[in-house]
């Protein structure tokens, strides 16, 4: 079974927004067992929408299209589909009523332009939208089932889950299973080298890599003659991947690296306080994107030297003698924030994120970080390559990694 994705909208062909619907849908369809070999994007032009739709519908079993279902004059998808089918548009009374109620619930009056969102090609199946005004719909074109969804990601995902996945789930044999392993600390090329030969050893397994800077996700994708066999195959191959990558795998699925660090802290009964300079709050931000009050107490972003002294008690002599970017200051920040906050683990980071600030001896990218713990202090130094935001991100992840390693007893 093959599926294609059609994205519709001049904001896409003009590059005004990045098309995240496309990768979300192709990932879902692939996981359901469809082969997605082609995706297309066209602007809001009835002829081009119709041409693309005809072409994809004649080559694939399923087409999922997004966009162009809004109330404005440049939303032309529904009319283009009716033209392809050679049928009229008809108003769907229950949808009109649902749209009207949606506006009333928000204390607003429905504009006449929204009425067209209740028009569908004659014979279409309407797919209700519980989270927005634009319903989706579905029609057959030749031997293909074509689905049309609004372009707003939240609405698109909801209608896909409510109506499309159940409708097409039975079309594709679910003979695949996927395990996502999250890694940090090894470049993608090295991860690939370490995993050379895994696909050959496990017939039916393919490995995929998704880089989400600075992490690499390894997808272990298994296909077999039944879902149970695919699952067992994926489990076996994932065990092999785990043994080859060992330390750099920190979690699975939607795990974040900060959560992995948090689990390590909680397992020891430790609380954490952080002191940041060049990363400017990024370490705290990564930690608090998910709830963290069980272990996270405070983060002192001491950007100016005066703040390092006032908030953390870093001595002016140390700052003058070694410079703010030094192993000594990273250690003093970690020690200071631990003492001031009265916690078990203190982490400090200082460096030169750039683009300016380099000196003859200290290049852009030079970063020192330290963890102060009940058994002592660990300090690390690296010169990271990249732009300001990449250097900040690499530094922040390495701080989290060192805290985790200390808690796991890997360094002391």
Residues 105-164 contacting its own copies, CB under 8 A:
none
Q: Is residue 265 involved in binding its own copies (CB under 8 A)?
A: no
For residues 26 and 120, which CB has a smaller minimum distance to its own copies in the complex? 26
> Per-residue x/- mask for its own copies, residues 197 to 216, rule CB under 8 A?
-----------xxxx-----
Of 113, 383, 389, 412, the residue at the interface with its own copies (CB under 8 A) is 389
CB of residue 283 vs its own copies: minimum separation in angstroms? 7
- Cis peptide bond upstream of 380, omega within 30: no
Could you tell me which stretch among 93-101, 262-270, 287-295, 403-411 binds its own copies (CB under 8 A)?
A: 287-295
| Integer angstrom CA distances of residue 352 from 112, 188, 358, 365, 382 | 57, 25, 7, 5, 11
> Per-residue x/- mask for its own copies, residues 1 to 40, rule CB under 8 A?
----------xxxxxxxxxx-xxxxxxxxx-----xxxxx
22 membership: H or E segment, kind and range: helix 20-31
Residues 301-340 that bind its own copies (CB under 8 A): 301-304, 306-307, 310-311, 340
Secondary structure, 3-state, 104-134: HHCCCCCCHHHHHHHEEECCCEEECCCCCCC
CA distance 354 to 177: 44
For residues 305 and 315, which CB has a smaller minimum distance to its own copies in the complex? 305
Q: Is residue 167 involved in binding its own copies (CB under 8 A)?
A: no
How many residues make contact with its own copies (CB under 8 A)? 76
For residues 124 and 159, which CB has a smaller minimum distance to its own copies in the complex? 159
Q: Which of helix, strand or coil describes residue 385?
A: coil
For residues 49 and 82, which CB has a smaller minimum distance to its own copies in the complex? 49
Query: Tokens representing 395?
Result: 């530094």
CA distance 381 to 395: 10
For residues 173 and 209, which CB has a smaller minimum distance to its own copies in the complex? 209
Residues 75-104 that bind its own copies (CB under 8 A): none
Q: Is residue 362 involved in binding its own copies (CB under 8 A)?
A: no
* Residue 407: partners with Cβ closer than 8 Å, 6 or more residues away: 261, 264, 265, 267, 268, 270, 345
CB of residue 311 vs its own copies: minimum separation in angstroms? 6
Own/partner contacts of 15-24, CB < 8 Å, gap of 24 or more, are 20/153, 21/66, 21/67, 21/151, 21/153, 21/156, 24/153, 24/156, 24/157
CA distance 93 to 90: 9
| Integer angstrom CA distances of residue 264 from 83, 107, 295, 334 | 60, 48, 10, 18
Q: Is residue 285 involved in binding its own copies (CB under 8 A)?
A: yes
CB of residue 296 vs its own copies: minimum separation in angstroms? 5
CB of residue 166 vs its own copies: minimum separation in angstroms? 20
Q: Is residue 73 involved in binding its own copies (CB under 8 A)?
A: no
């Amino acid at each position: 079974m093959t599926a294609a994705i059609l994205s519709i909208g001049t904001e896409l062909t003009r590059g005004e927004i990045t098309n995240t619907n496309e990768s979300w849908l192709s990932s879902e369809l692939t996981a359901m067992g469809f082969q997605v070999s082609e995706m297309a994007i066209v602007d809001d032009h009835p002829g081009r929408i119709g041409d693309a739709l005809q072409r994809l519908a004649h080559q694939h079993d399923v087409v999922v299209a997004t966009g162009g279902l809004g109330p404005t004059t440049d939303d032309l998808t529904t009319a283009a589909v009716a033209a392809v089918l050679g049928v009229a548009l008809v108003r769907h009374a229950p949808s009109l009523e649902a749209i009207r109620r949606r506006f009333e619930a928000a204390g607003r009056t429905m504009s006449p332009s929204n009425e067209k969102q209740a028009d569908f090609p004659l014979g279409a199946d309407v797919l209700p939208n519980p989270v927005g005004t634009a319903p989706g719909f579905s029609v057959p074109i030749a031997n293909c089932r074509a689905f049309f969804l609004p372009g707003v990601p939240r609405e698109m995902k909801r209608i896909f889950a409510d109506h499309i996945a159940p409708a097409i789930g039975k079309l594709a044999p679910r003979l695949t299973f996927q395990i996502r392993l999250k890694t940090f600390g090894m470049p993608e090329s090295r991860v690939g080298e370490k995993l050379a030969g895994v696909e050959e050893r496990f017939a039916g397994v393919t490995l995929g890599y998704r880089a989400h800077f600075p992490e690499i996700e390894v997808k272990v994708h298994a296909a077999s003659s039944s879902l149970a066999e695919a699952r067992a195959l994926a489990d076996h191959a994932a065990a092999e991947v785990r043994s080859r990558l060992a330390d750099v795998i920190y979690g699975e699925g939607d795990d974040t690296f900060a959560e992995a660090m948090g689990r390590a802290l909680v397992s020891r009964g430790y609380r954490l306080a952080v002191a940041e300079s060049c990363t400017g709050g990024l370490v705290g931000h990564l930690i608090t994107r998910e709830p963290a009050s069980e272990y996270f107490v405070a983060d002192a972003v001491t950007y100016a030297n005066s703040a390092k002294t006032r908030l953390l008690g870093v001595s002016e002599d140390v700052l003058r003698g070694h410079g703010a970017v030094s192993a000594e200051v990273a250690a003093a920040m970690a020690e200071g924030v631990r003492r001031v906050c009265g916690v078990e683990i203190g982490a400090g980071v200082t460096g030169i994120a750039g683009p300016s600030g380099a000196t003859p001896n200290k290049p852009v990218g030079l970063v020192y970080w330290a963890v102060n713990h009940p058994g002592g202090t660990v300090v690390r130094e690296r010169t990271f390559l990249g732009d300001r935001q990449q250097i900040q991100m690499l530094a922040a992840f390495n701080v989290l990694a060192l805290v985790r390693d200390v808690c796991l007893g890997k360094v002391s």
